[in-house]
Structure 1
């Protein structure tokens, strides 16, 4: 092998690992760190027969790196150098260097926290800061602290800020290596363009092929853009007479054989264009590439604690990723990089990407920590601590799935979920499918949902994808279909293993006897109904092979049922016009014209997070009767006894609901009388005291009592409106028993209810100090007006007061009545609280005026000596 720049750092790396137990290697692109460092460390004495495990963020890179290192040793992968990734393993008893993806390391740690067979763990391309990478490093640090102080850790990256990582590892040395890269010219757009990235990429690629030698590597955010770019580029090349250029796709969902062909040089020495997602950004060498076309975009997962949903967003790449992509053009010779953005836009890019742990769905991480024995992430050492809101929501989901108990520890069901290695939602779905004989479908759905949509842009019905996957009728690309089926088969194997480990040898024996795909088909194979929440409520069993005979409609509803196991918070009830209310409380819609838009019930597997009404991208129909049959642990009864203002009555209703959704409702035949009375009083409190049947006398009683309390607060209760409303239960409660409606309230005897608030002595004093009427000199008895408790009033004709020397007083003589003196026509003449003064000073002017207007009436010269009368003139 020819020398590589990183070779010069090997002695420093060996010394740091030997003496300090760890190191951080910052090596520029092209330095050779991925393929040279592990091989150089294979013979270190401190390994003591143990192996080196190296983590790669992507499956393509892990497999490619292992095969390259093995070839350098003159071997094939699986001997001294092997790899282990999802759906593909080549490793054996002689393997010393094992390249794995990060989820594999987590499984290794859960199975053996001490990593007894591992001497060194290498975290490659750590700058990508994947969730599993951060988790793996945190678990390794605790494993080293608790079990293995001789476990060595090496973190490698081209663009990582090294100091925080070195500090996290205990202050280990930072070692730097230059790269081996030829000069790369960088070309930017002259001006900002809003054109689709596929059009810009096709134009730039065709232009670059005409100007420069070598093959081209085009970075695009996803498969849809790859497909459209391939079509546009093919048309351009045909128009330019360059049909001989081979166009290949490279993305993570491709089968390994197709990935190898994309990485290999073009046949017959021709030119090649590789249209790739960010999988080609690092740790991969695409042979012959001297041209890079960078679309500047990537798909990034974003989790919203507000909605509890994740979505993939198309976002701008950071500068670190742009530099990594640019470096691909200078690996074998001088090259050129066309960036499909302007220099001004480049200056606005973030320097580095956001760690996935800050923005991802943390349910898988929370489950792994629970199995590890940690409920609080703060118990571990992190570069970035998991956000509290997202972590709390993740724990709530695990609790709803029955994966963790009230103490936060994993249940047997939770342990089985973790062993499956899928997202907890999907793992729960697969386990719940077992007793229904639907495990094969569940595994295929898990494979479909774990990947990009194979029928993008079509109908949202997931059951159509499931049918297309089974039929092989061309609706799903053949290579893609085979890879999805292979992943489903792997889920089946993992499901058998997880159940076998849970149930013990007895379940394993039953699994051997199962027919169809080999899955455990009997509900009894699950380790007791308690190990899978709700399993006891499932009906039916038998081989999953029977799914082939189901009707399309039955299959669609089975698909919906399985989705509901995974997404109980996304069960949707139709509101009309394709709009649904989800059990989690938010709204969503299926575009009108699609069959699902008319279904009464659906389950949404994928939807965007835009506003209050997200668009449903993948879903399946659901039968209403399946909800209570299979989700009895989530279905609850709500009894509501409440005042309905519109009806003017207490309504007692029983509602069966699942989250925010009402399954059915109806009246309660025999509601609790106490609850009815409480609801009625709440209605009065809401509507106000005017709801009660106030009579003239009852209002006067209340006004008299308020007058008495105003002038002697210590001796009387507070009878203000606020106090009466707050104390309804005490003073009115005993009188409304058996009443439910506004009409019933009209039977209330308000005077009785009000007077019951006073003692016998207080009632006697009220009659004495706040009389209802006052006797006048004319013999009339007139009511006292207490509407203003500060100034109770008496309205009387002036002639009825002749002979009354002074204003009458109440409240034991403390309060004079305010006299409203009226004319014979009952019109106000004067208002006074000092009648004696009125007789002396104002009467004669008033008499002059009234005598002119009412000459027939009696207007004496001396009112103090005159006879009072209620008539025109007094009787002789």
Structure 2
């Protein structure tokens, strides 16, 4: 919001000279884009200037602000400029705080409020214009609100005016989205700001550097100091450093925090002008970047960091990341020092680092959990976000994950249409997880406690800096004053007020003390969290880690009581590394799981090969996702599944685990040889047998469960059963097991290499055998390993005729020397074969 005060009849602001042009455009067209630098006065001047436009026809103007603080401040300032209080001509509507009366013509609302108004009344009856202020911040609800307004404008309300106002946005893109709407550009009014960069890259803690620079700036310059820090934790640490004596701040310097989770009155106090004689150092998050002016600031110290929430479709979890700001954000922060007078900006990064900053911040839509958006679209009547106009469409993966979650929460049916329960969830206006928890818990009598949990979970963890425990029950007890000093009173009041607001929205009456969990008791919190986070139910493993229902691992970082619980429901997980880190959880019993997840728990029989036992194990399991809740031995397992499991074990171990005999391996090789010459024969290679185990081995392993049982399989008989009677006859004839040599001996044929079958025989037994013997109908010569009398190989040949004519005489010479008593004839073709030392006469 632009806070350059102009009392009635006060000074001109840069935007004033452009108001006639803007009004003329809106008389002719239903859309416009206003790019106005900080200080131009767009937030407080434009709505008032348009209030009496003829096309408005007395209807209301809605103006969206990205933050509650900005909405309240804008409404108060505009009301004051009219000499009124908020709730008269100008009012505001934010969550848990509304000042709107029957005569209100300008409503300043937060972005989520617009979505609720649209869902309640899709034509926005009585509204003539919607203004999207500070649109460059690209909050998800602003993108959603604009997409819904554009569709509603095209289908129902051609007269509705849409005005997008921004400080640092590519106006042409928005203009194109609005159908070629005119772009009006105004320069801001700002005093010069001298900017100083760090001379070296920051080393050490950023908080130390920020505190040091703030204390030094107070001593060197006039005016108040605004320090930009990424989050409440860093604000708290810098506040501690500046409150110490080492900081050297005098009693006239006050250190104040400014962030979104503070009570409204504390926020208002931080942005107000300091009393005379008092200087202030305001430690702020991005809340002070563009929407509000912190009065009295002349000095800005910028850490260059902001905290954003990033959603990972891979894990289904969001995580807060501290990232470098964009160049546009840095400029916005710098400009805060020049709103009321010349100023100074100290940046805690170097000029070289500045040149590497992204030009613009990423739209929240591209990195957010899209479950709220997907539910709003479903209730609006859109199942495919591509049916709407977006500046940046929602990413498909994150949107798909959001739809899955909504189906799990029973918000959407099988066609991704909203259920009655889903519509009730959307009407509550809270995150779908929390809405589901509140509605389901109310059926169980735990509605009030669920609203308290929802309020706690919607805020930053109030005990994070005070306790190491991740136990959600401690937060609920602190909310109820146990122990009395565990939670800051202002925080307790704010969370309690939000819980009352949720109870009112859900129609839940206030319970009497002691009713349900969370009212001093300790039971039921895990049950409630499991309703909100069904995908984050965790089961303790034997090694102390946890397994999430989704199958992902999780750990409790430090040993604490919850580390020993059998089941946890995790409300907050940090997506880091292989295992997510559980940040906030409550214990859950198996009985509670069965109570609320009964329809999702499935009974399944598991028949698997147990590698360690070398046997098939059959179990009956109760399963919730990846979690096994109960397990028992299954005596009557399906024989077919047992056989399949046993075969998977054989596949894992390899075919050598089967009881192969020499006879079986020889038969396998003989059939393989026939297959090589005729593809009609079965393929019995190890590779093929592994693939088709069901076909050839399945019928022979019935009743077997263990590796040792396989010893009963007669593999030779099993392989033979693959052949018909005719094939067996042909096999024995063409690929015999033995061959009779001239000496009369039956020599086994080795088929290890089906392409080259081998016989090993003493040379003397082959005298008179003129040609190499052949098998397979004469197609394949045998390879002959000729042996000495001592059964040692002396020659290998597959051409016996050539051997007798040539090589034999060299071999004979050698053998005659070594075995002189043996028979070594000069003419082997006419000699008598023998299997003795010499032939019998």
Contact 1:589 1:613 in 2 (8 A): yes
Residues 1:233 and 2:242 are matched in the alignment: yes
Task: Return the alpha-carbon distance in structure 1 between the equivalents of residues 836 and 234 of structure 2.
Answer: 104
Using the alignment, how far apart are the partners of 2:213 and 2:626 within structure 1? 51
Secondary structure at 2:318 match in 1: strand
Task: Measure the CA separation in 1 of the matches of 2:679 and 2:566.
Answer: 64
Work out whether 1:724 is the aligned partner of 2:734. no
Counterpart in 1 of 2:101? 92
CA contact (8 A) 2:536 2:549 kept: yes
Cα drift, residue 417 of structure 1: 1.0
> Residue 212 of structure 1 is aligned with which of 217, 221, 237?
221
Matches within 5 A, 1:101-500: 101-235=110-244, 239-240=248-249, 242-457=250-465, 458=467, 459-471=469-481, 473-496=484-507
User: Shift in Å at residue 70 of structure 1?
Assistant: 0.9
Offset, 1:674: 1.5
Report whether the alignment pairs 1:792 with 2:757.
yes
Counterpart residue number, 1:668: 634
Q: CA deviation at 1:869?
A: 2.8
Report if the CA contact (8 A) 1:577-1:597 is conserved. Answer: no
1:578–1:592 Cα contact (<8 Å) kept = no
- Residue pairs, 1:759-770, within 5 angstroms: 759-770=724-735
Q: 2:583 matched to 1:624? A: no
Task: Classify the secondary structure of the residue corresponding to 1:371.
Answer: helix
Distance 1:118 1:456 in 2: 43
In the TM superposition, what is the alpha-carbon distance from 1:576 to its structure 2 partner?
5.8
Q: Following the alignment from structure 1 to structure 2, what is the Cα–Cα distance between the partners of residues 134 and 164?
A: 13
Would you say the 8 A contact 1:125–1:282 is kept in 2?
A: yes
**C-alpha distance 249-289 of structure 1, shift in aligned 2 (>3 A):** same
* In structure 2, distance between residues paired with 1:834 and 1:585: 66
The answer to whether the Cα contact below 8 Å between 2:300 and 2:344 also exists between their aligned partners in 1 is: yes
CA distance in 2, matches of 1:149, 1:448: 42
The reply on whether 1:810 has 2:775 as its aligned counterpart is: yes
User: How far apart are the structure 2 equivalents of 1:546 and 1:787?
Assistant: 77
1:684 aligned residue: 650
| 8 Å Cα contact 2:514-2:521 kept in structure 1 | no
Asked if 1 retains the 8 angstrom alpha-carbon contact of 2:91 and 2:106, the reply is yes
Partner residue of 1:503? none
Distance 1:51 1:787, change over 3 A: same
Q: Gaps spanning 5+ residues in structure 1: where?
A: 497-510, 518-542
Tell me the C-alpha RMSD between the 2 structures.
2.2
CA positional deviation for 1:136 = 0.3
For structure 2, the residue ranges without an aligned partner over 5 or more in a row are 1-7
Structure-2 residue corresponding to 1:606: 572
Q: Is the 8 A contact 1:206 1:237 kept in 2?
A: no
Correspondence list, 1:677-716, <5 A: 677-710=643-676, 712-714=677-679, 716=681
Cα displacement (A) at 1:411: 0.9
2:714 to 743, 749, 752: 749
**Residue correspondences, number:** 829
Shift of 1:320: 1.8
**2:227 & 2:510 partners in 1: Cα distance?**
47
CA distance in 2, matches of 1:219, 1:850: 100
The separation in 2 between residues aligned to 1:51 and 1:7, in whole angstroms, is 22
What does residue 552 of structure 2 align with?
586
* Structure 2: distance between partners of 1:475 and 1:307: 33
In 1, the alpha carbon distance for the partners of 2:549 and 2:328 equals 41
CA shift for structure 1 position 365: 0.6
Gap change, CA 1:856 and 1:77, over 3 Å in 2: same
Contact 1:377 1:385 in 2 (8 A): yes
Matching residue of 1:526: none
TM-score by length of structure 2 reads 0.94
TM-score by length of 1: 0.91
Q: 1:831 to 1:423 in 2, by over 3 A?
A: same
Q: Which moved more, 1:637-646 or 1:469-478?
A: 637-646
Query: Aligned ranges for residues 560-575 of structure 1 at < 5 Å?
Result: 560-575=526-541
Shift of the alpha carbon at 1:288?
Answer: 2.4
Provide the C-alpha distance between the structure 2 equivalents of 1:250 and 1:568, rounded to a whole number of angstroms: 35
**Structure-2 separation of matches of 1:577 and 1:844:** 75
Describe the SS at the equivalent of 2:130: strand
Query: What's 1:826 paired with?
Result: 791
How far the C-alpha of 1:185 sits from its partner, in A, is: 2.5
